């Protein structure tokens, strides 16, 4: 029998947390509820969640700080939950490493659907993603000098080293690198990568590009280029 996937629910509103837990339990997830940030950080290593649902407005350590600390040691998927719907809050959450952002009140079915979608993206990457950088590539991948992006096993090899990259960043990099020198608007990238009107709007693309550039630097043969006023392209230098 397959092991249940574990969801850590971090919310100081016990009623909302219990409701979320109820819906996820019906979908055969194992859940654990904690009501503050300190407790979330304490139980995280032992509970080993497959995904974290993280409220922003927590007593003591807020959700932003919890996200920072989790990201310092883990790539576990994080969906932020908040009553704050301002663009600044959404973008900050994404910049800190959240995978999705939902505004309260939300529909429980949509929450379950997003949990499944985020987990599906992460679970597409088998253990081979951490294989030796020199291993032969298989499946759907693009290769340039110093860079291999493999969509089949969700791995990125940069200058001979495996790079940790969340699924959406990897999918965005793969999409751009698969169409060298083609310019895509932010709207086109949102449509191709996210497939729906993503919370945070086109700024979401900018955030993901920024995080990618922190991990991979331009090469003499290629560059992740901003086309001012339009969008981005993966430029291959002739």
Domains and CATH numbers, the chain: 6-123 (3.40.50.2300), 127-236 (1.10.10.10)
Mean pLDDT of all residues belonging to the chain: 84
Judged against a pLDDT cut of 50, whether residue 116 lies above it is answered with: yes
pLDDT value of residue 200: 53
**pTM for the structure as a whole:** 0.62
Mean pLDDT value of segment 2-6:
82
pLDDT band at 226 (very low <50, low <70, confident <90, very high): very high
pLDDT band at 137 (very low <50, low <70, confident <90, very high): low
Instruction: Give the Cα separation of 190 and 76 in Å (integer).
Output: 23
Contact at 8 Å (CB) between 237 and 221? yes
Instruction: Give the Cα separation of 222 and 234 in Å (integer).
Output: 7
Judged against a pLDDT cut of 50, whether residue 72 lies above it is answered with: yes
Share of the chain above pLDDT 90, in %: 38
């Amino acid at each position: 029998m397959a092991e249940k996937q574990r969801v850590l629910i971090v919310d100081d509103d016990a009623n909302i947390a219990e409701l979320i837990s109820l819906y996820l339990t019906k979908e055969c997830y194992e859940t654990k509820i904690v009501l503050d940030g300190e407790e979330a950080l304490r139980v995280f290593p032992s509970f080993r969640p497959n995904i974290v649902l993280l409220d922003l407005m927590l007593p003591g350590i807020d959700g932003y700080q919890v996200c920072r600390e989790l990201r310092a040691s883990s790539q576990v998927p994080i969906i932020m939950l908040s009553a704050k719907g301002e663009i600044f809050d959404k973008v900050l959450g994404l910049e800190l490493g959240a995978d999705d952002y939902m505004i309260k009140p939300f529909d429980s079915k949509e929450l379950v659907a997003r949990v499944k979608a985020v987990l599906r993206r992460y679970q597409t990457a088998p253990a081979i993603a951490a294989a030796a950088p020199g291993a032969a590539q298989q499946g759907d991948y693009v290769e340039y000098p110093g860079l291999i992006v493999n969509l089949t096993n969700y791995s990125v090899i940069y200058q001979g080293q495996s790079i940790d990259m969340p699924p959406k960043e990897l999918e965005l990099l793969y999409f751009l690198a698969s169409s060298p020198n083609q310019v895509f608007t932010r709207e086109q990238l949102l449509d191709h990568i996210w497939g729906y009107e993503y919370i945070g709007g086109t700024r979401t693309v900018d955030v993901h590009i920024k995080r990618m550039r922190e991990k991979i630097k331009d090469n003499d043969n290629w560059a992740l280029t901003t086309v001012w006023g339009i969008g981005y392209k993966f430029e291959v230098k002739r």
